[in-house]
Structure 1
Amino acid sequence: MVASKETKCLLHVTGCLKSSQTIKSTDSKGSTIKQIYDSLIDKCSEDNSNVAFFVRSKEGDRFTISQCIKGNSGFDSETLASLSHQMVLGHPVIEIDIAVLFASKVPESGDEVIQAPVLTESLNPDQTKFHSFDIPIDILQLVCSSKLNEQTLRQFLEHHLHLQKTFHKQFEDSSSESKSWDQNSSIVPSYPYHFDLTSFRNEELSESSDNSRNLNEEPNIVTELMPIGGKEDLGRSVRSKLHEKYGIEKSKPVFRKENAVRFKPLFTTQLVFDESTTPPPPKLSGSSGIGNYAGTVCETVKGQYAYFHYMQDSMSDSGWGCAYRSLQTVWSWFLLQGYTHKNVIGHKEIQQTLHTIGDKPASFVGSSQWIGSFEVSYVLDHHLDITSAFINVQSGDQLVSNAGRIAQHFKAHGTPIMVGGGVLAHTICGIYYEDEAIEHSVRYLILDPHYTGTEDTKNIKKKAVYAWKPQSFWKSDSFYNLCLPQRPNVF
């Protein structure tokens, strides 16, 4: 990766501050927390503070900021390229660990551990209280690489501590909300999460811009403290206030933890598609993207979805598993959009579900028997509480008469459509047609689960397994059942 001097990068600063001090026994819990935060903020803002920031290389080595900066010019392009771990939201990510001598710990490399703030208290012989406070630090900040220095990092840390102080103070001030969490705990269990609100910049979410982003647009990242564990009503209250704070309609799970910025992909075997990778239909091949044009209708899946197909994850399902794979793609949409935290289940788990609900006999579990669109809906309903609408046609020729209904589904719900008919199942991810000549112009964006090749986009394009298909793709002598999963109205 070659980066210019003015390249912007995402700083991901993580660690844990540990502070301790003796406080009067008469001080309230809220006063104690305020004093601890104020003390930390003062120490972090001092020019001669003992805050140390270590840049973590791709190999796991750590370097101080001063070792990485040449002169006073911040990171140069060569340094940035060597240190960037990955690309997130279109920008290189620099991982930074924080160590503070008046605190204590630099996190070890390895699996991520979410640590909630913990306040422990003990009584001294002189009746004063000794408090030890562990505060998780997780900062995500877009910054110009040439202007990165320790002073900038200290400012980010100071702002982050103010954010946490404000969050915990609001529960001290609100008796109704304070009842929503365990009073045996000294502080509300919470953790900083980062959300990309680029799609909502300066406006509420609109149907035409659902989860879409201009790749050249700078991400609008906000960090908010979210309760972890505890009661759901507390999390719902916090999410409600965040929707009001940012003026975002309460119809989608924008501020659920599952929708926070991810630093590790949910899917490593499967390719993930979204609007930016959606191939334009033939009529619009020269255009820059997907949308409605004069006299035409073009609607596609909104948001990300993973491509599941035959033979993935060492599962030999060629010839019978196409509907299972289509179901997995649909499930991935709800996972990637933050509607669920449940991982996509496999073929045997799908079969076991259908047996559990009484749809299939015990002999079905572990077999190579097909499933259809109705079974797909049963599984979505049982595991994710997702309802589905259906379109049933006796012949593939009749699908064109439902083009408007399919387009409306993508516009209103944006979920992939599973379609079964005859002995095959497919996933419909979009529809295009001209108003005045629907029968001749209609095209369906098909994601074909029958593919058995590698996860190579060039090969997938060559095989046309993720491509626009004409009306003739559907057989006139086969019936088709379309399962249209409905997006829940939750936040």
Structure 2
Amino acid sequence: MNARIVEGQYKMSNDYSMSLLKNVHKDLPLPEPGETFLVRGDYEYWHYGCDGFNDKGWGCGYRTLQTICSWIKDTLTSNAPVPNLRSIQEILVALEDKDKSFIGSREWIGSFEVCLVLDYRYDVVSKIIHIPNGKDLIQYIDKLKKHFEDFASPIMMGGDKDCSSKGIMGIHIGSNGNAYLLVVDPHFIGKAKGINHLQSEHWIKWQHFSDFVNSSFYNFCLPQVQARKQHEGHSTTG
């Protein structure tokens, strides 16, 4: 992923970043009866090309980071805007995590880089959870549940064999031991007709733990900032 971004080469025709859909998991049907723990507060759905910049094939981690930034900005009432892709790269170079050649590249970022940017941009510390392989995800149900109970902030999920970044907005625990993660997928391209459009095409979905890749490791970035108290109702039973 060392190709360079040439000025204007990756521009798309439309910039939707000022009118992004919010809280795109709203009213998504539960996969089965059980207990649900969700993000609290408002976030914007950032995805491929939403700001007029074509990052298809490499920018999913940046887009999940932007979604998390939008939640933090709203939660902390911060004046710091959601950073664009180049700004994210510049931050990582300033932190000496990346070489200068990283700026303008199409290199991916993962959960560790997301952690660094959140700390630099918003002074938000994050916890990293490393899971050696997908089949071990089930062992982390309680930790993920506790995160949404204590903080209710969005989570970044990345991996290696499964290298597609995912925003995680909740966890659902079924009555028979089944468990699901609420995935907000940043790989959508275009202008969504609405939340129902995204949900019906499964860009927003409940994904069973068994549907993740067993041979892939996963890294979770859990921002350690609490949702505002006025956002209640993080857990439900259905």
Q: Which TM-score tier does this pair reach, normalised by the shorter chain?
A: 0.7 to 0.9
Stretches of 4+ aligned residues off by more than 3 angstroms? 488-491
Compute the displacement of 1:399 (Å). Answer: 1.1
Counterpart in the other structure of 1:463 = 201
Contact 2:24/2:45 (<8 A) preserved: no
Contact 1:386/1:488 (<8 A) preserved: no
Query: 408, 413, 426: which is aligned to 2:166?
Result: 426
Contact 1:274/1:303 (<8 A) preserved: no
* TM-score (ref. length: structure 1): 0.41
Query: 311, 314, 319: which is aligned to 2:52?
Result: 314
For the pair 1:368 / 2:118, whether they are aligned, the reply is no
Counterpart in the other structure of 2:28 = 279
Work out the CA distance in 1 between the residues paired with 2:57 and 2:82. 21
Compute the displacement of 1:400 (Å). Answer: 1.3
C-alpha RMSD of matched pairs (Å): 1.9
Compute the displacement of 1:298 (Å). Answer: 1.1
Tell me the alpha carbon deviations over residues 237-267 of structure 1, each in whole angstroms, 9 at most, x when there is no partner.
Answer: xxxxxxxxxxxxxxxxxxxxxxxxxxxxxx6
Contact 1:417/1:427 (<8 A) preserved: yes
Q: Name structure 2 gaps, 5 residues minimum.
A: 1-16, 230-238
Contact 1:269/1:313 (<8 A) preserved: no
Using CA pairs under 8 Å that are at least 6 residues apart, name the structure with larger relative contact order, 1 or 2.
2
Contact 2:152/2:226 (<8 A) preserved: no
Secondary structure of the corresponding residue to residue 62 of structure 2: helix
* TM-score (ref. length: structure 2): 0.83
Number of residues paired by the alignment? 210
Q: Name structure 1 gaps, 5 residues minimum.
A: 1-266, 285-295
For the pair 1:343 / 2:101, whether they are aligned, the reply is no
1:447 is matched by which residue type in structure 2? V
Secondary structure of the corresponding residue to residue 51 of structure 2: helix
Tell me the alpha carbon deviations over residues 398-426 of structure 1, each in whole angstroms, 9 at most, x when there is no partner.
Answer: 11110111111111101100011022110
Counterpart in the other structure of 2:224 = 486
- C-alpha distance 306-489 of structure 1, shift in aligned 2 (>3 A): closer
Compute the displacement of 1:489 (Å). Answer: 9.4
Tell me the alpha carbon deviations over residues 171-206 of structure 1, each in whole angstroms, 9 at most, x when there is no partner.
Answer: xxxxxxxxxxxxxxxxxxxxxxxxxxxxxxxxxxxx
Counterpart in the other structure of 1:390 = 128
Work out the CA distance in 2 between the residues paired with 1:489 and 1:445. 18
Identity within the alignment, %: 34
- C-alpha distance 393-442 of structure 1, shift in aligned 2 (>3 A): same
Counterpart in the other structure of 1:268 = 18
Compute the displacement of 1:274 (Å). Answer: 6.9
Work out the CA distance in 1 between the residues paired with 2:145 and 2:123. 24
Tell me the alpha carbon deviations over residues 53-89 of structure 1, each in whole angstroms, 9 at most, x when there is no partner.
Answer: xxxxxxxxxxxxxxxxxxxxxxxxxxxxxxxxxxxxx
Work out the CA distance in 2 between the residues paired with 1:464 and 1:489. 26
Compute the displacement of 1:394 (Å). Answer: 1.0
The equivalences for 1:152-301 within 5 A come to 268-273=18-23, 277-284=26-33, 296-301=34-39
Q: Per residue, is there more helix in 1 or in 2? A: 1
Compute the displacement of 1:490 (Å). Answer: 9.6
Counterpart in the other structure of 2:152 = 414
Work out the CA distance in 2 between the residues paired with 1:452 and 1:404. 34
Work out the CA distance in 2 between the residues paired with 1:488 and 1:464. 28
Contact 1:396/1:474 (<8 A) preserved: yes
Larger radius of gyration: 1
- C-alpha distance 305-385 of structure 1, shift in aligned 2 (>3 A): same
